[in-house]
């Protein structure tokens, strides 16, 4: 369980609060809108109404007591920059700020954000990869050249084990798990036998993955 502060309860802030609460974290949320604050009280340890561009509001919260402070006010760059700067000035350990433009990200990093998150862009990239790659059911980007893919097994793998196929040496990817009825299970590389109805979770660079898909389609 981690102690986390979430500033701003717009759509992203509310979704973030809900997900972090479900994972068992101890949360404090703050927003200027009394209505949205009251809606989140059942999910958090503490909820407060306030304007976090006011230094005294943040000082009273005691931001240095939280492991991470999230700033979820991407539609107002000035406020986001002010809050990010104040958090660092007041001793926040780590500040993660939501952005919706690349230019905003540069300003916020300059003004003290330890990390920026760009959910709209990241989801767009994920959707583009998923729907432009044949036989890929899902995709998670780890960096610009490396990702994790969910695919069906190539026909030539069915009934064989990963050790028999020698996947890493032949295809330069790692099959790290298999998915059976929405349950993800770690792969035992020595004894697991590939089945047609199960999806595979594969990690690798784009070049190797595209090569694997190309060979898959040919067989």
Report all structural domains of the chain as residue ranges with CATH numbers, in order of start.
3-117 (3.40.50.720), 122-218 (3.30.70.1450)
| Residue 85 · residue 111 · CB < 8 Å | yes
Q: How far apart are CA 193 and CA 174, in angstroms?
A: 15
DSSP state of 153: P
pLDDT in 10s for each residue of the chain, 219 residues: 899 999 999 999 999 999 999 999 999 999 999 999 999 999 999 999 999 999 999 999 999 999 999 999 877 888 999 999 999 999 999 999 998 877 777 788 887 899 998 887 777 776 766 666 656 678 777 776 788 888 888 888 899 887 888 888 888 888 888 888 778 888 876 678 888 888 889 888 878 877 777 655 444
**Are 56 and 32 contacting, i.e. CB atoms less than 8 angstroms apart?**
no
Q: How far apart are the first and last CA of the chain?
A: 48
Q: Buried b / exposed e across 33-72, counting CB within 10 Å, b at 16+?
A: eeebbeebeebbeebbebebbeeebbeebebeebebbbbb
Handedness of CA 131, 135, 139, 143 (dihedral sign): negative
* pTM for the full predicted model: 0.68
């Amino acid at each position: 369980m981690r102690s986390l502060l979430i500033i701003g309860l717009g759509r992203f802030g509310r979704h973030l609060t809900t997900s972090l609460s479900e994972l068992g974290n101890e949360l404090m949320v703050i927003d200027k809108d009394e209505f949205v604050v009251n809606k989140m009280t059942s999910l958090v340890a503490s909820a407060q109404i306030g304007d976090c561009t006011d230094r005294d509001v943040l000082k009273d919260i005691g931001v240095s007591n939280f492991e991470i402070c999230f700033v979820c006010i991407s539609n107002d760059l000035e406020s986001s920059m002010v809050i990010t700067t104040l958090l660092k000035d007041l001793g926040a350990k780590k500040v993660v700020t939501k952005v919706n433009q690349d230019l905003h990200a540069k300003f916020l990093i300059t003004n003290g954000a330890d990390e920026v998150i760009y959910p709209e862009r990241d989801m767009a990239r994920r959707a583009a990869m998923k729907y432009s790659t044949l036989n890929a059911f899902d995709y998670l980007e780890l960096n610009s050249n490396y990702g994790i893919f969910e695919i069906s097994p190539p026909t030539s793998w069915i009934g064989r084990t990963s050790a028999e196929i020698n996947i890493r040496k032949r295809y330069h990817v790692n099959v790290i798990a298999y998915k059976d009825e929405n349950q993800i299970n770690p792969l035992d590389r020595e004894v697991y036998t590939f089945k047609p109805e199960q999806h595979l979770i594969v990690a690798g660079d784009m070049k190797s993955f595209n090569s694997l898909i190309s060979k898959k389609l040919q067989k």
